[in-house]
Structure 1
Amino acid sequence: MKTLIKLLFFIAIYSVNAQNSISGKITDSNNKPLFGVEIYASEIHKGTTSKEDGTYKINNIPNGKIKITYTYLGFRTVSKVVTINSENKELNIQLEESFFQIDEIIVSTPFNKLQSENVMKVERLDAKSIRKLGNTTLSEGITNIAGVSQISTGTSIGKPVIRGLSGNRVLVYTQGIRLENQQFGGEHGLGINDAGISSVEVIKGPASLLYGSDALGGVLYLNPEKFASENDSEFNFSQRYFRNTLGSNTSVGGKISKENWKFLARGTYANHSDYKIPTDQRVTNTRFNEKDFKTGIAYSKNIFTSEVRYNFNRSNLGLTEGITDQSTSSDLLEPFQKIDNHILSSHNHFFFGDSKLDVDLGYTYNDRQEFEEHEDHDDDESEEEHDEHEEHEEAALRMKLKTFSYNAKYHFPKIGEVEILSGVQGLRQTNRNFGEEILIPNADVNDFGLFTTANYAWNRNTLQAGIRFDNRQISTERMEIVHEGDSHVFEAIDKSFNSFTTSLGFKTSISDAITARINLATGFRAPNLAELSSNGVHHGTNRFEKGNSNLTNEKNTQIDLSLEYKTEHFELFTNGFYNHLNDYIYISPTNEIEDGEQVFTYIQENAKLYGGEFGFHLHPHPLDWLHLESTFETVIGKQDNGDYLPLIPANTWRNTFRTEFTIGNWLQQGYSSLSLQSTFAQNNISNFETTTDGYNLLNLGFGGDVTLGKTKFSTSVSVNNLFNKKYINHLSRLKNDGIFNQGRNIVLGINFTI
């Protein structure tokens, strides 16, 4: 005890005395000072902006190596690793003009480098760009990233698809921890509101080395909004209106930061009616509403920094059964889902001179309820009695999923140009049922993984390699459910799944303009609870699902090739991939009928997916206000027996004409865009799918930052599906009912920051 007290006393004395800082001046290539440059050290949650004379200062910097990024619109991002040894550091920075997108630090990769420095190419989209697109949900917004699609149920429910892989094959990270929200279901959406999200990063390809099971197809990494700059405060109000759904999204947030402490909070409410299709009909009970609250607190002091965030999200989602009564009401009808999601995360960094330890802890609690449609109440029952009856009605299906996760990574001292990172990762998960209906039994899941990866850079080349071992334990209870005279037995399961995964990547700058990347990686996914143990009608998918307890790991090997050509005014890229999957799990009809529904069961077959993304970005000189962008994406998925895989997105070609402008002092960072999305016919279908016709959608957008006297705000207007085109996306779950996707949608947005 005395030793511990002495150690704590030493740390306290050290914290008081060590007051390191980084300061300097930021200029352009003509040595003119730059005002408003964002300076940020993500590891310690500290940041500031440069003053009118270009100077800046960040206090209370820990000893060791700290990465600082300097970001300014229209200039190339600079990233510097600074070594601090109980001294004040002066660092002057000169930024070069750049007409393309800002080069940001990528958080989802192991060494948190700039995108241009990464061995693995990661797609990134900032939140402001997503909101400009006028999408109703975050899941819909990220489909604008080449290679990313969504399986949708109306406008409220969307599941991300990366290069043809979806469900549990795509791992979602939010607040730095994995999101667990019963994502096995086809009608289960992302469950994350875009308010309070600063950017989205997408790893396309197996990322099991970093994240373990379920990252076989890729990772969707959601970065939370940053805290305010040091000794600063900020209040934000935003409002969006959606004409098609008569919906609104209101968000209010505030931030305050001192030298060591930082705090933020944000509340959001969204409410939508049934969406309208081009025939002027509304799709009954696709209405939804959402309440979201996010808060965070951070502390940094020399050798230690910590950040704690909490997110509560309540989503009430109508489940449509077709087009019936027409209404603009936003009151939900049965059947509907009520989903509460709690996410608590803690991120901690310990600095030991040239080395560093990161410890991330997370807890998620997902409470999913489904209310079924009941027969009309008795004619003698009053409306008040009926409403009271519905208020106390219990959910037919209720599952509570609790997940505790941990992730510890140690960054070894750099040896020459070699960086080494080792870590341990895992989770403890419990699923419990409380309704009269059961989709999956009560179960416990335990994950444990060990990994190490290294990065070596020399001249214009970078080599990165790693290896990982994982173990997943799944055990379920034996349960027998009797419902409406039918009995279903869930047999007990006790399974263990092990896997080794590896990765090897190489990046080289062939010239100042040409960069090439090649990555070879293996991934795995243990079968989920639904695939192993289902035994009953899944009303969300209108089928009887039977699990298969004999399923084994899915394993894949993927090779990615990437080539980029970038000059001051032109950028060209091509990405190709080939993905071979052993024991690919998919659901297939059995031609049997149980409980009035067709029986589907899970089987395995080797498969392959291949394709790529191609595009260019033209910024012609001297027309600095003009941008022409074009991307094409394609993927083909086939089983080894020659059959096509289900739920493979159709080929898509997007062309965007975009302008940027400033008008006097009242409109800054103005923009306008005209986008044509061409989706080709999908004729490569599985045995239980139907073909889908191609279509073209035209979208408009404009907006900017407005200053009227002392009032400053940003505004945006977007018009999606301008010509009200009738179309059905191949990945729409309403396709089998012949229900069109959303018609014309006008979205108005305004944002005040004080």
Structure 2
Amino acid sequence: MRLFLITTLLLIGFSEAFSQECKSTLTGEVVDFHSGAPLIGATVTVLDNGNVKKSAITDLNGKFLIKNVCDGNFELEVSHPECQSKIIPIEIDKNTFKKVRLEHHLEKLNEVIIIGDQTEKGVTKATSVQTLKATQIEQFSDASLGDALREISGVSSLNTGSTIVKPVIQGLNSSRILIITNNIRLQDQEWGIEHAPNVDLNTADRLTVIKGSGALQYGGDAIGGVVLANPAPLARKDTLFGKTILSGSSNGRGGSITSSLDKGFNNGIGVRVQGTYKRFGDFRAPDYLLTNTGSEQKSFSATVGINKFLYGAEVYYSYFDTKLGILQAADLGNVTDLIRAINAPVPEIIEDFSYDIGLPRQEVAHHLVKLSSYLRLERLGRLKLQYSFQFNDRQEFDDRSFINDDVPVVDLELTTHNLDLLLEVDSFENSKITAGVNGLFQENFADPVTQVRRVIPDYEKYSLGAFAGIAHNITESLLVDIGARIDFTHIDAQKFYRGTFFEDRGYDVDFADIVVEQVGSQILTNPVFDYTTFSATVGLSHDINENLELLFNYGLASRPPNPSELFSEGLNQAAVAFELGDLRIQEEVANKLAVTFKGSLFDQRFNFNLTPYANFINDYIVLEPSEDGVITTSRGAFQEFEYIQNDARLLGVDFDASYDFNDYFQLKTSFSYLRGDDTVRDRPLINIPSSNLFNTITYKNKKLKNLNLQLKSEIFFEQTRFPDNNFTAQIVENNQFVDVLVDVSTPPPGYHLLHFDSSIKFDLGDITNLELGFSVDNIFDTSYRQYLNRFRFFADDLGRNFTLRLKLNY
């Protein structure tokens, strides 16, 4: 009986097995998603609940054939050595055909990640590019963007005291430098010399500096260069991680805390939140306190996005709020105070340490919203649409006995809308084409509650730009990169002029048509300007061999004058200057040539980068002391500055090198030299950085808890080439007016600083680790004054500073 039952069950099983239909045929082809070209050697596997049923390899035409397949629902896994593997559901019913498209060039994409400092999106590939990575940025978590960028050769800073730091690239600053944060061009009244970028350094995973107009996607007015502050990509798989950095400093008796948290999901959705808080009291020079130089910063950002191969979208919001004290000793009432301050060995106002941020001070809030999306188009590329909104509210406060101290002397509200459309065509094997359009609407409102003449008037600005470029590999070792851009800019302003000033400048003759009405001694005007500018770039990249590369780049960059250059008429308290714009100022046009020779020698132990360059700028716009020297206002007598235009020539060289002695010791060196000339007046340009030489010796030992020790030497040579902008002023001595020569031109002496930095890492779990860092800036407490610090007339720069950092990865 038992034998009968077993035999019956076996016969039933064989019957069911033979009754299942497994005579179907699966055919298909595997092609490149972008070009449609067949992919040879791709593996196609039929899976049933994870079990392999059948497989095949694509032929020379990218086609495959799998016979004797059962009907039903299965999964098809397709893989290729140079592609991201793909698993797709498939229903097999008799003879079935399936076409599969794979993202090709995976190996090339991985190379992009490895040498990412050369291949930022939207950047010409044959131009000089340098990058600071996350580990370097984290050393400046309690500092500013300008402080961190000084680590790159050819980048210096224009300072207003110790808290306001603007980057300078190869001698150029402000509106000549585009700052891109999370793929958004920052619009934060960058024209002001004393306006620091409203960016939280801690949001960036890398900082990239393009020295020149090699990023036409972002604008054609990058005469100086472009700074890209890009965050890390959002997580695309199920994960949760974060980091917190806590720092404390002796100088300023303050510190910062910054944290970020990332969450990813397997469906491609990623979320990130990040925040930073910084607080410092009065900073200290080697011999005295710098009264009223405290600062406070609060910032927050949040990102939500979905990142799929065929499509993606992202929503981003950031808030940046800062309060900056202005050195009280620089708050002058008249030229007599200026002369006394210049001649005094120490600031005239030195008070006890305080965290209070009094008068004068700046308060700035910046909101930024971004909505972006992309769609991959088969056999073409990627189409991206992005909208951004920015609102910048800048308030500056000063001591005015007749008005409440809480009423600002400057209150500017700048609102900006941007719309960008970008098409990246990557369907060609040896070429990549990029094209797009940008639109902008901007509105500035100068709040009259200040009861002070508006330095910058109300205005509306419209701009429209279009660009296109192609990067083509002529051979495996030679790449050519060509791009062009055209921009149209329209500015419509409403401004009151003093009647006497309007006539003295000759505006009543040259701009009579802009007069709307006369109100008492004031003239209401409506200046309207249109500008059309062209920009272009041509670059070549040649791999001499596997270790040496030669780059050549020519860049044509053009920019219209900014509102400050056109309309300024008033006291800039932070700069201690009365600034005058000029309605006659025209577009600025630069022609720049740069050659970069870089490579790795001696088994890649020696790496170097040498970039000589020449920048010829027609109608160069510069703010410099006027011939009148001093202007007397109801608030006192002040040095007068005005915007003028002349042709300029900048010649320079940047050099970087590193040598690995062994697995533990490394020496890095960098040198920058720049010569700037006004070719019309045959004299040096003002505010050109002096030559500098940096050397860093590093000891690293991964076996000793990733111990890292650094000693850095910074040598800043004295600037010996400068224009003579000295002026004569009348002051009262012994109850008599006497003429005194005011020296505002002579640069300070050169100086040498030594710094130390160290870190060590402890593993606390599988993914959790703690890194401790300790650094000393200005080890020998050297007294010095930086040439490009607007407050060098009043006080020394910062003295010794001890900093302790704790970084927790989790």
TM-score normalised to structure 1 length: 0.81
Match of residue 122, structure 2, among 110, 114, 117: 110
Report deviation, 1:704: 2.8
Determine if contact 2:141/2:201 at 8 Å carries over to the other structure. no
CA distance in 1 between partners of 2:373 and 2:106 (Å): 29
Q: Which residue of 2 aligns with 1:369?
A: 395
Match status 1:741 vs 2:741: no
Determine if contact 2:610/2:655 at 8 Å carries over to the other structure. yes
Match status 1:685 vs 2:722: yes
Report deviation, 1:479: 2.9
Q: Which residue of 1 aligns with 2:367?
A: 342
Residues 1:740 and 1:174: Cα distance change in structure 2 (over 3 Å) = same
Report deviation, 1:348: 1.7
Match of residue 756, structure 2, among 700, 704, 712: 700
Per mean C-alpha deviation after superposition, the further-off stretch among 407-416 and 554-563 is 407-416
**Residue-by-residue CA offset, 1:231-279 (whole Å, 9 max, x unaligned):** 0011322201111111110123221111221111112110011111011
Larger Rg: 2
Residues 1:440 and 1:198: Cα distance change in structure 2 (over 3 Å) = same
For 2:617, give the aligned amino acid: L
For 2:464, give the aligned amino acid: F
Determine if contact 2:213/2:221 at 8 Å carries over to the other structure. no
Q: Which residue of 1 aligns with 2:343?
A: none
CA distance in 2 between partners of 1:343 and 1:451 (Å): 25
Determine if contact 1:61/1:301 at 8 Å carries over to the other structure. no
Determine if contact 1:130/1:142 at 8 Å carries over to the other structure. no
CA distance in 1 between partners of 2:596 and 2:804 (Å): 37
CA distance in 1 between partners of 2:83 and 2:186 (Å): 27
CA distance in 2 between partners of 1:552 and 1:233 (Å): 53
Report deviation, 1:418: 2.0
Match of residue 421, structure 2, among 388, 393, 408: 408
Residues 1:490 and 1:579: Cα distance change in structure 2 (over 3 Å) = farther
Residues 1:642 and 1:415: Cα distance change in structure 2 (over 3 Å) = same
Match status 1:272 vs 2:280: yes
Determine if contact 2:235/2:269 at 8 Å carries over to the other structure. no
For 1:460, give the aligned amino acid: S
Q: Which residue of 1 aligns with 2:211?
A: 204
SS at match of 2:526: coil
Determine if contact 1:134/1:747 at 8 Å carries over to the other structure. no
Q: CA RMSD for the aligned pairs?
A: 3.1
Report deviation, 1:488: 6.1
For 1:516, give the aligned amino acid: L
Match of residue 439, structure 2, among 400, 404, 426: 426
**Residue-by-residue CA offset, 1:525-568 (whole Å, 9 max, x unaligned):** 11010110111222122222221111110001000001012132
**Residue-by-residue CA offset, 1:291-329 (whole Å, 9 max, x unaligned):** 000110011344210122111011011111324242332
Match status 1:303 vs 2:341: no
CA distance in 1 between partners of 2:83 and 2:250 (Å): 44
SS at match of 2:771: strand
Match of residue 241, structure 1, among 245, 248, 272: 248
Q: Which residue of 2 aligns with 1:576?
A: 612
Residues 1:681 and 1:111: Cα distance change in structure 2 (over 3 Å) = closer
CA distance in 2 between partners of 1:617 and 1:60 (Å): 49
CA distance in 2 between partners of 1:171 and 1:90 (Å): 33
- Counting aligned pairs with the same residue, the percent is 24
Match status 1:219 vs 2:226: yes
Residues 1:441 and 1:208: Cα distance change in structure 2 (over 3 Å) = farther
**Residue-by-residue CA offset, 1:395-445 (whole Å, 9 max, x unaligned):** 232110001112211123533412211111131100001132311110011
Q: Which residue of 2 aligns with 1:436?
A: 451
Report deviation, 1:88: 7.2
SS at match of 1:549: coil
CA distance in 2 between partners of 1:516 and 1:554 (Å): 30
**Residue-by-residue CA offset, 1:155-191 (whole Å, 9 max, x unaligned):** 2211110000011111111111111111111211112
CA distance in 2 between partners of 1:60 and 1:173 (Å): 42
For 1:184, give the aligned amino acid: W
For 1:326, give the aligned amino acid: E
CA distance in 2 between partners of 1:216 and 1:341 (Å): 25
Residues 1:474 and 1:713: Cα distance change in structure 2 (over 3 Å) = same
Alignment gaps of 5+ in structure 2: 1-41, 43-74, 85-97, 330-346, 500-518, 726-744
Q: Which residue of 2 aligns with 1:594?
A: 632
CA distance in 2 between partners of 1:192 and 1:439 (Å): 24
Residues 1:495 and 1:234: Cα distance change in structure 2 (over 3 Å) = same
Per mean C-alpha deviation after superposition, the further-off stretch among 454-463 and 343-352 is 343-352
For 1:284, give the aligned amino acid: T
SS at match of 1:532: helix
Q: Which residue of 1 aligns with 2:485?
A: 468
Q: Which residue of 1 aligns with 2:476?
A: 459
SS at match of 2:149: helix
Residues 1:207 and 1:431: Cα distance change in structure 2 (over 3 Å) = farther
Q: Which residue of 2 aligns with 1:500?
A: 534
CA distance in 1 between partners of 2:108 and 2:102 (Å): 20
CA distance in 1 between partners of 2:143 and 2:487 (Å): 37
Q: Any residues of structure 2 matched to 1:160-239 within 5 Å, and which?
A: 160-207=167-214, 209-228=216-235, 230-239=237-246
Match status 1:399 vs 2:412: yes
Q: Any residues of structure 2 matched to 1:287-298 within 5 Å, and which?
A: 287-298=294-305
Report deviation, 1:718: 1.1
Match of residue 123, structure 1, among 125, 130, 134: 130
Match status 1:630 vs 2:669: yes
Residues 1:749 and 1:369: Cα distance change in structure 2 (over 3 Å) = same
CA distance in 2 between partners of 1:179 and 1:61 (Å): 44
Residues 1:245 and 1:503: Cα distance change in structure 2 (over 3 Å) = same
Determine if contact 2:291/2:353 at 8 Å carries over to the other structure. no
Alignment gaps of 5+ in structure 1: 1-23, 25-58, 69-83, 113-117, 378-388
For 2:537, give the aligned amino acid: S
Determine if contact 1:208/1:524 at 8 Å carries over to the other structure. no
Match status 1:726 vs 2:738: no
Q: Which residue of 1 aligns with 2:691?
A: 651
Q: Which residue of 2 aligns with 1:556?
A: 590
Report deviation, 1:590: 2.9
Q: Which residue of 2 aligns with 1:752?
A: 808
SS at match of 2:202: coil
Residues 1:111 and 1:61: Cα distance change in structure 2 (over 3 Å) = farther
CA distance in 1 between partners of 2:696 and 2:590 (Å): 35
Report deviation, 1:194: 1.5
For 1:555, give the aligned amino acid: V
For 1:436, give the aligned amino acid: Q
Report deviation, 1:655: 0.7
Residues 1:356 and 1:61: Cα distance change in structure 2 (over 3 Å) = farther
Determine if contact 2:122/2:215 at 8 Å carries over to the other structure. no
Match of residue 540, structure 1, among 538, 552, 574: 574
Residues 1:93 and 1:440: Cα distance change in structure 2 (over 3 Å) = closer
Residues 1:740 and 1:616: Cα distance change in structure 2 (over 3 Å) = same
CA distance in 1 between partners of 2:106 and 2:199 (Å): 40
SS at match of 1:724: coil
CA distance in 2 between partners of 1:579 and 1:111 (Å): 19
**Residue-by-residue CA offset, 1:316-355 (whole Å, 9 max, x unaligned):** 1111132424233212101111110001112321101232
CA distance in 2 between partners of 1:685 and 1:67 (Å): 57
CA distance in 1 between partners of 2:790 and 2:621 (Å): 19
TM-score normalised to structure 2 length: 0.76
Residues 1:229 and 1:721: Cα distance change in structure 2 (over 3 Å) = farther
Determine if contact 2:134/2:206 at 8 Å carries over to the other structure. yes
